[in-house]
Amino acid sequence: MVVDLRTVNELVAGSVGGAAQVLVGHPLDTVKTRAQIAAPGMFKGPMDVLKQTLKNEGFFGLYKGMASPLIGIAGVNSLLFAAYGTSKRIISPFPQLSLKEIAAAGAMAGAANAILASPVEMFKVRMQGQYGGKDDKRLRNVAQEMWQQWGFRKGIMRGYWVTVAREIPAYAGFYTAFEFSKRQFASRYGSDLPVWALLANVVKSRIQLRNTPPTGTPVQYIAREMKMIVAESGVAGLFKGLSPSLLRSIPAAASTFAAFELTREYLEKLTGV
């Protein structure tokens, strides 16, 4: 079996980019997740989440749950960037793809990415859902508990189909925006988080944090969770965490792609491909 060195380069560069993304974006990700999963009235808004976290848990409370994405992000981003590169080569043998082709490749990469992203984020969300109490669990305890109580599909992969529903349009839009920005006005384009991706993220976080796995088909339990959110907090509840998501997305995306591109360029010179 011959391994394409371009794919190897993308795997390695994706790992470096993923680590940069976690280190830069995790504090605001914690604020976003807590804003999404908190009971109504627990916080006044994202700024109150930030204030209470710093007050009760200190600065490093913002990095709660980072171990899961930091360990897993190497695999997640490696898979994402390699899948994107491979998808582009499948779609067209020419290096300059149209924006429609870029969107299709991004959607394919997003579908592949969900395989690893779902368990990584499930553990992250459950760690972030602890608020510094004496009964807080370590990552290994959370992983052991989910495996023993619910097994692989209902435990480790909980929230998978919502993650798929989020990743496909999110990365189709993300890569299209990224390529468009590179081609048109590299330093002036905006966020990497389409509205549907945020809405799906709220649903995903709540499903992953629940004590019991969802029942019924993915369509049924996604619709049921959305209905519950609206009943609790109105339509606005579907967009909890919007401001920290947008604030996080720009520096996180910038650091991810800067680290990815620099590493890939270095590896291209090293390997010649």
What's the confidence (pLDDT) of residue 25?
84
* pLDDT greater than 50 at residue 191: no
Provide the residue count of the chain. Answer: 273
Residues with Cβ within 8 Å of 111's Cβ and at least 6 positions away in sequence, in order, are: 164, 167, 168
CA distances from 27 to 23, 46, 62 (A): 8, 12, 5
Kindly state the average pLDDT of the residues 17-46: 84
* pLDDT greater than 80 at residue 221: yes
Kindly state the average pLDDT of the residues 17-31: 84
Least confident of 27-41, 117-131, 134-148, 191-205: 191-205
* pLDDT greater than 60 at residue 2: no
Cα–Cα dist 11/262, whole Å: 13
Indicate the pLDDT class of residue 147, thresholds 50, 70 and 90: very high
CB 69 within 8 A of CB 139: no
Please provide the average confidence, as pLDDT, over all residues in the chain. 82
Least confident of 44-48, 99-103, 106-110: 44-48
- The pTM assigned to this predicted structure is 0.57
- Domains of the chain: which residue ranges? 5-271
CATH class of domain segment(s) 5-271: mainly alpha
Indicate the pLDDT class of residue 54, thresholds 50, 70 and 90: very high
Greater pLDDT, 235 or 227: 227
What's the confidence (pLDDT) of residue 196?
59
CA distances from 25 to 17, 154, 245, 251 (A): 12, 28, 9, 7
Cα–Cα dist 101/98, whole Å: 5
What's the confidence (pLDDT) of residue 91?
94
* pLDDT greater than 90 at residue 32: no
What's the confidence (pLDDT) of residue 193?
46
CA distances from 218 to 91, 156, 199, 221, 230 (A): 29, 16, 15, 5, 18
Cα–Cα dist 269/273, whole Å: 7
| Cα angle for residues 1, 101, 21 (degrees, 5° grid) | 75
CB 68 within 8 A of CB 160: no
CB 110 within 8 A of CB 168: yes
Q: Which pair of structure tokens corresponds to residue 240?
A: 């909890």
CA distances from 16 to 10, 110, 182, 226 (A): 10, 19, 21, 35
Q: Which pair of structure tokens corresponds to residue 74?
A: 């190497």
What's the confidence (pLDDT) of residue 189?
41
CA distances from 74 to 15, 20, 65, 91, 174 (A): 4, 10, 16, 25, 19
